[in-house]
Structure 1
Amino acid sequence: MEPVPRRMLGCPLCLRLLREPVTAACGHSLCSRCWSAARGCPVCLESVGEELQGNRVNVLANGLLQKWFPEEGQPSAVAECGQGPISHSHQNLSLEATECLQKGQVPLTWEHSSEKYLIFQTMASDATSKLSEERESISDSDEYNVSYSCPCSRSVPPELLSISDFECSVCASLTKDVPIFVCTMAFPRISCPLHIFEPRYRLMMRRCLETGTKTFGMCIYDSVKIFADFGCMLKIEESENLPDGRSLVSTVGGRRFKVLRRGHKDGYNTADVEYLEDKQVTGVELTDLCHLHSRVYAQARNWFDHLPSILQRRIHTQHGPIPDQEGNVQASPDGPQWCWWLLAVLPMDPSLQLMLLSSTSLHQRLTHLQRVLHYLVQNQIL
């Protein structure tokens, strides 16, 4: 048996539009009923594993097929009866998105969703031009007998392409109804140990763990709005339950966010949020930024090294050692980790910390940190 050529949105076994696609461990997708009859993958020839006994449908691929081609995705009466030949020219139609959809069962996180979206956007636009040449060879009789119409007989409308289609339906990168813990400042990639004792937050933590997201937002208190307009996501790394119902939770900071809408759920706060990213700079601006970055890092090192040993040990115990200087200052959307470490340990007013947390300019954050360090050293404030 020769491997079947890859096709876009098409089943490599029946050569029709995928219907209820099932994805094997090898990464290839077939119609669910085709998998039931297959002894092995027709693309790579690997055996069908036991995990496909239940024919679990690839949710991502199935959702896109139903959204993009709702009419074409429905089998005709001829197809249900197993009658009607599929023309050779239809078998050779290039259906350009299967390669990505075949990998769609891999869990998607916010790091991957944008990349997947761009890939599909390009493929959807390219498919129509490739189809126009092949359709000329399809006769009227052939088209009449085709059980599934070709999914690329028209281009995918741009309004049907959405990045949300490639995000996890459970966590969605956690932008809607995000649980909010109103307590203290938290910063990206910096540890934040918590002692949970209030019933509302015990419920919130239990739900975060049970849903598998293990993620919630942290904001400081605001006398007018209940919690601040900006905060930081926290990821639960470990949770130790105590006999009386309290818990000790180890978390680490994730992405920064801006609050768009406030809500309430079973006693604790929630919010719809959008994530923040530092603005990228190039050319002379980037050169100046790198020089400033090196100078402020040296100042931070010098300040920490001259602290009393007891303070150094206390900081080390709670936040760890100062992170190393990063070569690429724009590698992370939140900037260098050591800046957030410094913000967490410096004796600063929470309002200033919040302002720097919300800033999308690394240059601005470094400039403020430089001023704070200079003030502390000049006034011998520890």
Structure 2
Amino acid sequence: MQGAEIGSADPASRAIARVSSLSRGGEGEGEASASPEQSPAEREALASAKERGNVLFNRELYGEAAAAYSEALRLARSPEDVATLLSNRSAAYASLSRSYRSRPARRSECAALFDLDPTSLAAMALKDAERAVGLRPGWAKAYSRQGTALFLLERFHEAREAFLEGLSIEPTNAKLQEGLREVQALLQGDASEATSGAAGGGGGTSGTAAAAAAAATAAATASPSAAAAAVPAAGPKRQRTLGAGASRGSLDDWDCSLCCRLLFEPVTTPCGHTFCRECFARAIDHRPRCPYCRTVLHVARDALPVTITLANIIGKAFPDEYEERRREAAGASVAPDAAASPTAASSPALSLPLFVMSLLLPGESMALNIFEPRYRLMVRRVMEGSRRFGMTQARRDQQEIEDVAVEAEILDCQSQPDGRYYLEIVGRRRVRILSHGELDGYRVARCEVLQDTQPQPGTPDHEAMPALTEQVGRQVDAVLSQMQRLAGGGGGRLAVRLRSMLDGLGERPPASQPERFSMWAGSVACLLPIETVDKAELLRCTDTAARLRMLAEGLGPRLVAAGGGPGGQGCVIA
């Protein structure tokens, strides 16, 4: 982003130090010469830079507006001027963060951006807002900027406090009221939905999203004290004690905030909140956010391990209730299994953020340089969660994405000085995309795991599998032989490129695992310009024998044209 000044180059630090020096009246030789007076030329330049920033902001050129406000900060002397410019620059950073989050994924896929990610921009907005609050603690607009930045950082409870603090100064401020409505609608609306999901859709949930939004509206338009009181408290929890010998009050801290019962098999999220494992699984299936603080979480429903220490403490402190919870969980798990149909899916659907660039095959590795703001944000969230995301590509008609993807795992993540991420990833398993939407500028898909249907013993496909595997293995050996010969031909660009491609293939699976072997052989075939071998088709196919035939038909003519094998004089790569 042009004009985004960070660290010691930021003129705001000097402006605040200058204001602080003037407020102390000067205590040293250098400070004694400081004067709050500005020359007419300086005042004119300050007003011009500020006005230019306002014009750029109104034209939605937020990066250029922030640069103009930074220029004005170099000239500001009074606390009021510095606070106003910091507030304006905070609004520019926050607006740029919002614009990147709301930018359609399709638009970004056609025209990539290179800039700071939305979280970094929101952090810069918060820093400016907090400085403005420090300079003018009685200014309601500064609290509005602070609340907006905290909201964008997903620190929703702190954002609510900032908006309430601003409303205590100026109860009729429309921006503060709007901000409070937004944060409370999210907190209360998601809370009722998450609780409903954790309860399995039962009728014990109080309130709905619509009621929550109405309550938020009432809170925002009321007085600050009434607004704070309007925040609905959680439903009454069942009170427990340690028994007759140690009944010293309630122990609600050991309750799950979703089911309001004793924590059973507790799991702890990356943001530090704990729930029953099954409650969390149901909530995360409903929406990829922490049920308590609403932080976006890209975590598989079964990825979080049970917090053993906490489970042991609860089991020893409340042995009877914990055993009762164990029996309830065992009974609840039997009923769905008994009701499931024989054709039901073997694995539940999972939620994956998508990186739309190219397809990856299981076992194949790749290095990525992440520079787009939306994908930087995605990587931040993925690294805090399961370290996994989906790799897919746009269809050939460029109108939509493929209906298949590969779940990739991040093996190494290195943050670069300019904010980029260098990733090393490996494909783990293929998935079919059932549906997808957008979250903060990138796509998030609901997927199901794809597995090949194994042929029954005695069928033609089962009998032909060993011969097909051997045939494709010979063809792949011929291709690899030529590629390795060319890759060892020195330090030319082609040799370096071929060595990189060969390193990304991964370990060769044994022929006794035909599904894995066919995927690995597909990775080799896709290194060649073979029109009949397409990664999307290889992933979409759930018949191992059909996939091996596809590879044999694609590699055969290529090898014949190149001379028939490793001893041929032609080249399979050309």
Give the TM-score of the pair, scaled to structure 1. Answer: 0.54
Matched letter for residue 255 of structure 1? R
Residues 258-277 of structure 1 correspond to what in structure 2 (within 5 A)? Answer: 258-277=432-451
Aligned partner (choices 324, 329, 334) of residue 513 of structure 2: 329
Pair 1:361-2:543 in alignment:
yes
**Could you say which structure has the higher helix fraction?**
2
Relative to structure 1, is the Cα distance of residues 378 and 340 closer, same or farther in structure 2, using a 3 angstrom cutoff? Answer: closer
Aligned partner (choices 188, 191, 216) of residue 362 of structure 2: 188
CA deviation after TM superposition for structure 1 residue 231, in Å: 1.1
CA deviation after TM superposition for structure 1 residue 304, in Å: 1.9
Give the TM-score of the pair, scaled to structure 2. Answer: 0.37
Aligned partner (choices 304, 309, 315) of residue 485 of structure 2: 309
Relative to structure 1, is the Cα distance of residues 160 and 367 closer, same or farther in structure 2, using a 3 angstrom cutoff? Answer: closer
Relative to structure 1, is the Cα distance of residues 33 and 184 closer, same or farther in structure 2, using a 3 angstrom cutoff? Answer: farther
CA deviation after TM superposition for structure 1 residue 311, in Å: 4.2
Aligned partner (choices 373, 377, 380) of residue 559 of structure 2: 377
Deviations 1:106-140 (A, max 9, x none): x9559x9xxxxxxxxxxxxxxxxxxxxxxxxxxxx
CA deviation after TM superposition for structure 1 residue 286, in Å: 2.3
| Greater RCO, CA 8 A, separation 6+ | 1
Relative to structure 1, is the Cα distance of residues 323 and 346 closer, same or farther in structure 2, using a 3 angstrom cutoff? Answer: farther
CA deviation after TM superposition for structure 1 residue 261, in Å: 0.7
* Distance across 1 between alignment mates of 2:400 and 2:412: 28
CA deviation after TM superposition for structure 1 residue 339, in Å: 2.0
**Could you say which residue in structure 1 is the equivalent of 2:524?**
342
Relative to structure 1, is the Cα distance of residues 219 and 208 closer, same or farther in structure 2, using a 3 angstrom cutoff? Answer: same
* Distance across 2 between alignment mates of 1:249 and 1:149: 42
**Could you say which residue in structure 2 is the equivalent of 1:214?**
387
Relative to structure 1, is the Cα distance of residues 174 and 236 closer, same or farther in structure 2, using a 3 angstrom cutoff? Answer: farther
CA deviation after TM superposition for structure 1 residue 373, in Å: 1.2
Aligned partner (choices 300, 306, 318) of residue 501 of structure 2: 318
* Distance across 1 between alignment mates of 2:531 and 2:442: 26
Matched letter for residue 302 of structure 1? A
* Distance across 2 between alignment mates of 1:150 and 1:206: 36
- Paired residue secondary structure (1:273): strand
Relative to structure 1, is the Cα distance of residues 205 and 276 closer, same or farther in structure 2, using a 3 angstrom cutoff? Answer: same
Any unmatched runs of 5+ in structure 2?
1-239, 247-261, 268-274, 280-300, 306-323, 341-346, 489-494, 563-571
CA deviation after TM superposition for structure 1 residue 322, in Å: 6.9
* Distance across 1 between alignment mates of 2:325 and 2:499: 64
Deviates more, 1:347-356 or 1:273-282: 347-356
* Distance across 2 between alignment mates of 1:156 and 1:240: 43
Any unmatched runs of 5+ in structure 1?
1-30, 38-54, 66-106, 113-147, 165-171
- Paired residue secondary structure (2:542): coil
Matched letter for residue 470 of structure 2? S
- Paired residue secondary structure (2:432): strand
Pair 1:292-2:499 in alignment:
no
CA deviation after TM superposition for structure 1 residue 325, in Å: 5.0
Relative to structure 1, is the Cα distance of residues 202 and 322 closer, same or farther in structure 2, using a 3 angstrom cutoff? Answer: closer
Relative to structure 1, is the Cα distance of residues 351 and 219 closer, same or farther in structure 2, using a 3 angstrom cutoff? Answer: farther
Q: Which has the larger radius of gyration?
A: 2
CA deviation after TM superposition for structure 1 residue 267, in Å: 0.6
* Distance across 2 between alignment mates of 1:355 and 1:209: 30
Root-mean-square deviation over aligned CA pairs: 4.1
